């Protein structure tokens, strides 16, 4: 075992791992992750997400994408949306933190968050915002990293697997 390696990905690097990124997203949604999508969700749907929502934003420079791998296998990812309006030059949004179910509970999300915060600092961002489904495993993770809860929006999004709405928790951290 070599452990996780985390790197910043541009278009070329992401294109080289698109099928694996699609499969990781499929595995996460099927394991219950609330990351914008609902079942049915295939690996091809995952590839479409990376192609249509992420590649153009990488090209435009509005997004920082980190990808973690272990022994060549894609294990996790997180994004920093730096495309904030002119009146929020100090803020960025943390998005789409996900760890493949096969690699969970080994501290990878914690490492991805530490590295994305370093990226944010490097970009001169001092306020990070994010949202996560209320009650999810990510909530204690963010709290332990110093994020504060600013509020809960009930009925924010559809549950990925059941015909019901879930709440979301809005959080922030000052770096």
Ligand X SMILES: CC(C)(COP(=O)(O)OP(=O)(O)OC[C@H]1O[C@@H](n2cnc3c(N)ncnc32)[C@H](O)[C@@H]1OP(=O)(O)O)[C@@H](O)C(=O)NCCC(=O)NCCS
Contact positions toward ligand X, by CB under 6 A?
28, 33, 35, 97-99, 104-110, 132, 136-138, 140-141, 144
Contact predicate 156/167, CB 8 Å: yes
Output 58 or 160, the one with its CB closest to ligand X.
160
Shortest distance, position 9 Cβ to ligand X, whole Å: 18
Cα separation of 92 and 66, whole Å?
Answer: 15
Residue 79 structure tokens: 């994004």
Burial class of residue 163, CB neighbours in 10 A (0-12, 13-18, 19+): exposed
Output 86 or 103, the one with its CB closest to ligand X.
103
Cα separation of 140 and 133, whole Å?
Answer: 12
Shortest distance, position 28 Cβ to ligand X, whole Å: 5
Shortest distance, position 86 Cβ to ligand X, whole Å: 26
Output 14 or 33, the one with its CB closest to ligand X.
33
């Amino acid at each position: 075992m070599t452990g996780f390696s985390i790197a910043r990905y541009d278009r070329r690097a992401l294109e080289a791992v698109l099928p694996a990124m699609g499969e990781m997203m499929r595995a996460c949604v099927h394991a219950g992750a609330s990351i914008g999508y609902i079942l049915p969700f295939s690996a091809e749907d995952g590839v479409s997400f990376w192609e249509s929502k992420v590649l153009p934003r990488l090209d435009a420079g509005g997004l920082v994408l980190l990808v973690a791998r272990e022994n060549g296998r894609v294990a996790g990812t997180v994004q920093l949306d730096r495309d904030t309006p002119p009146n929020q030059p100090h803020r960025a949004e943390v998005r789409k933190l996900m760890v493949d179910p096969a690699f969970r509970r080994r501290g990878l999300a914690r490492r991805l968050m530490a590295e994305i915060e370093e990226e944010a600092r490097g970009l001169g961002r001092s306020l990070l915002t994010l949202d996560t489904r209320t009650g999810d495993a990510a909530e204690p993770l963010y709290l332990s990293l110093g994020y504060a809860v600013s509020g809960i929006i009930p009925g924010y999004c559809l549950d990925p697997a059941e015909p019901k709405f879930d709440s979301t928790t809005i959080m922030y951290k000052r770096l």
